[in-house]
Amino acid sequence: MTETVDATRPNGPEAAPPTDWNRVFRPHAVAVLGATGRADSPMARPLRWLAERGFSGHVWPVNPKYDELAGLPCFASLDAVPGPVDLVLALVPAAHAPDAVRQAGAASAAAVVVFASGFAEVGTDGAELQHELVAAARESGVRVLGPNCQGIYYAPTRLFATFTAAADRPLRGSSGIAYVGQSGAVGGSVLDIAAEQGLDLTAWVSTGNQADVDLTEIGRYLAADPEISVLAVYAESVRDGAAYERLAAEAAAAGTSLVVLRSGRSGAGRRAAVSHTGAMLGDDTAFRLVSRRYGVVLVDDVEELLAAATVLRGQPRPAGRRIAAVSTSGGAGILAADRCEGHGLALPELAPETQDKLSRLVPAFGALANPVDVTAQLFNTGERAFGDVCSIVCADPSVDALLVLLTMVVGDEAADLAEDLTAAMSGSGVPCSVVWLAGQDRTTRARAILREAGIPVFSSIAVAARVAGALTPDRMPDTAPGRAPLPWLPEAADDLDPATDGGWALLDAIGVDTPASVHAGTAAEATDAARALAGAGGTVVMKAVAPGLEHKTEAGGVRLGVAAERAAAVFDELATTVASLAGVLVQQAVPGGVELLVGASGGRDGWPPVLTVGLGGTATEVHRDVATALAPITPGDAHALLRELRCWPLLAGHRGAPGVDVDAVVEAIVRVGAVVARRPDLAELEINPLIVGPTGAVAVDVLVATRTP
């Protein structure tokens, strides 16, 4: 089977009928359409597993070539089945899949799983067949999972509606962890690795091409399932931002932890953007911000996905970003400290009273501050003191999480240590992870003891540090999601053409200060404007105006410090430098200050608008000192956003220098966020720079891009 692709649904998700997903995951009857008697075929697995592995409902094989399959009577067609059907497994070639969907609709089934490939992932003809498949589903009132998928496994009902080889394992348990993802191959790996680790998944779903049902819809059902405490998701694309946000919000409300591994986030997938803001942000910015808003854990590979799910299944989430390391090796502790700090984790020095308690257990040549090095000598005393060390460390008020690093503690001694650590962590309220730098064959029982207790075991310090960083809370907004109050904006801000005067009129309408400006179409007009704006002995700024001229400085279209007597000559220079000059904007000079960027990208594909603030000016993309948030934004959140910047000391006052008018910056940020949130026709709005002085903030350049809502 080829890898999955994401194809556009011809009728949209809103056209899907209401679906009773209980009929899919807890069916009373499953029909296997196209069941085969070839025991060596992967397509024989679903029928065999349903018949032999404890599914309590009816199983109806359907294939006119057989009278009996897997010890069950086989029927020539779906309409010959002697009872109602909830779920149909379509084990038929792609060309026959639309007809299979129609038959399922005639049998009043809730859903059809289409396993076949040969649809949108193979080109134009396949895409047309996929459209036909969805049209058949809409006509028949039945939902389609797939095509090009590997189906469903649901432990509570022993529903093996899949052919993945990973399900050939015993799979007798139910860990409380569910998985849903687009790729069948990645999904099979998740199911197999989880089982190998003793984590039999409670639910597993492969959504394939997502022609009809997508992973967010399945995810919402699973997140509400009382059998499930953690939902792990693999997404190759998230085409509907509103649907993803609904999944994240509902999971948070249900108390179900959501862990997401998303591919396709590289620079190759980024859209072209005319603004500095767009150039610095990837397509996944809104996805990351929505995830942060609802406490979704984002990871980078399959090992991290399962490790994070393990922690969230059996332990509390860290309350902060402070971690303590306890090691049997000083070197391992130092490596862990380096890796943890690289992922935004702090290793605070333990309190004096904590170190005093540790000194009674840890040899004098060990280390007590953090990392704590117990040394191998601790294990030569014959006492099980390692758990006591960990308990003392976790009781320190500066510790939010514990990372244990073990080297060559193996065999029975390793199992004893695992039991000791498990007992120590029980009820501690502090999550724990273990890195065991020893062969798995010599620590098998010990690793199993820890995993059974919900303590993940890594073989890599770097991976453990990444997971610890992903699990810790990020900055959260000071208001409930979507509740940021919009500031009052005049009606002109709603009705004005955003592109009027290149965006200057829009800034005036929303109350962002701008310098006095005059558009000059001739050299003589430029001279008159300069005299009016410069004042006695003053100067002005002159900026070229031309179609498609987005970045004036890079094009040589900006002149600073122009005296009135030179305005005509500068006009002529700009006419020579800039092609198709349509005039010059003559602006009053603004006193110097800190130059900031305030930009916003309008919402698209269901995602909320994204607001960006950062160090501005011509070197914005060099510094890349930016912070982002979803718009609209409150003043409190805008202030917090500014404090995230590396340049914050320049705003607050650095080395005795006076600070700038931060409140004026906050006001501008809030107003930009508000207008972009209110106007779907705004694709981008960027002020660069916003010059901030001791009093006031003035936008001296603006870029606006619009789109059809």
Domain boundaries, the chain: 13-311, 318-471, 516-588, 594-706
Task: Report the SS3 class of residue 687.
Answer: strand
Angstrom distance (rounded) from CA 481 to CA 476 = 10
In the numeric block, the tokens 């001791």 are attached to 694
Structural element, H or E, at residue 567: helix 567-577
Strand partners, 152: 161, 205
Report the alpha-carbon distance of residue 540 to residue 533 in Å, rounded.
7
| Residue 412: both structure tokens together | 């029975």
CB 259 within 8 A of CB 230: yes
How much is the pLDDT for 410? 87
Integer distance in angstroms from the first to the last C-alpha of the chain? 39
Residues 254, 251: Cα–Cα separation, whole Å = 5
| CA distance readout (Å), 325 to 306, 319, 373 | 22, 16, 8
Instruction: Tell me the DSSP string of 359-417.
Output: HTTS-TTSB-SSSEE-TGGGGGSSS--HHHHHHHHHTSTT-SEEEEEE-S--HHHHHHH
Residue type at 277 in one-letter notation = T
390-417 tens-digit pLDDT: 999 999 999 999 999 998 888 998 999 9
**Surface-to-core class of residue 541, CB atoms within 10 Å of its CB (0-12 exposed, 13-18 middle, 19+ buried):** buried
- Rounded to whole angstroms, the Cα distance separating 72 from 78 reads 15
| 315 closest CA partner among 417, 453, 193, 485 | 453
Assess whether the region 516-588 and the region 594-706 belong to the same CATH fold.
no
Tokens of 139: 């006509």
Q: Count of residues for the chain?
A: 709
CATH number of 13-311: 3.40.50.720
Q: Do the Cβ atoms of 234 and 305 come closer than 8 Å?
A: yes
Structure tokens given for 246: 């609904």
Q: Where does 318-471 sit in CATH, by number?
A: 3.40.50.261
- Cβ neighbour number for residue 584 with a 10 Å cutoff: 30
Q: Bridge-partner residues for 586, per DSSP?
A: 518, 542
CB 650 within 8 A of CB 656: no
DSSP sequence for 589-636? -----EEEEEEEE---TTPPPEEEEEE-STTHHHH--EEEEESS--HH
**Beta-ladder partners of 596:** 615, 690
Using CA atoms, how far apart are residues 422 and 449, in angstroms rounded to an integer? Answer: 8
Q: Which two tokens stand for residue 76?
A: 């020539």
- Predicted confidence at residue 662, as pLDDT, reads 94
Task: Tell me which residue of 600, 626, 622 sits closest to 613, measured CA to CA.
Answer: 626
| Angle 505-559-533 from CA coordinates, rounded to 5° | 55
Looking at this protein, which amino acid is placed at residue 380?
A: N
pLDDT at 382: 58
- Degrees to nearest 5, angle at CA 89 with 83 and 92: 120
* Closest to 105 (Cα-Cα) out of 147, 82, 66, 135: 135
Asked whether the beta carbons of 119 and 96 are under 8 A apart, the reply is no
Q: What angle do CA 203, 207, 211 make, to 5 degrees?
A: 150
Work out the number of other CB atoms within 10 angstroms of the CB of residue 388.
Answer: 16
How far is the C-alpha of 569 from the C-alpha of 575, rounded, in Å? 10
| Per-residue pLDDT, 486 | 58
Q: How far apart are CA 615 and CA 613, in angstroms?
A: 7
Residue 381's nearest CA partner among 362, 406, 358, 359 is: 362
User: What pLDDT does residue 275 have?
Assistant: 43
Question: What pairs with residue 259 in β-bridges?
Answer: 232, 297
3-state secondary structure 260-295: EEECCCCHHHCCCCCCHHHHHCCCCHHHHHHHHHCC
- The two three-digit tokens of residue 366, written as one number: 């060990």
Entry pTM: 0.86
> Is domain 594-706 given the CATH code 3.40.50.620 in the classification?
no
CA distances from 321 to 104, 333, 456, 639 (A): 52, 18, 18, 21
Q: Rounded to an integer, what distance in angstroms lies between the CA atom of residue 339 and that of residue 325?
A: 11
Question: What are the residue ranges in the chain where pLDDT is below 70?
Answer: 1-15, 264-283, 380-383, 474-488, 492, 536, 709
DSSP label at residue 338:
H
CA distances from 698 to 8, 620, 627 (A): 44, 17, 20
Q: Are 686 and 275 in contact (CB under 8 A)?
A: yes
Spelled out in words, what is the top-level CATH class assigned to the domain 516-588? alpha beta
pLDDT score for 16: 72
207: nearest Cα among 140, 156, 162: 162
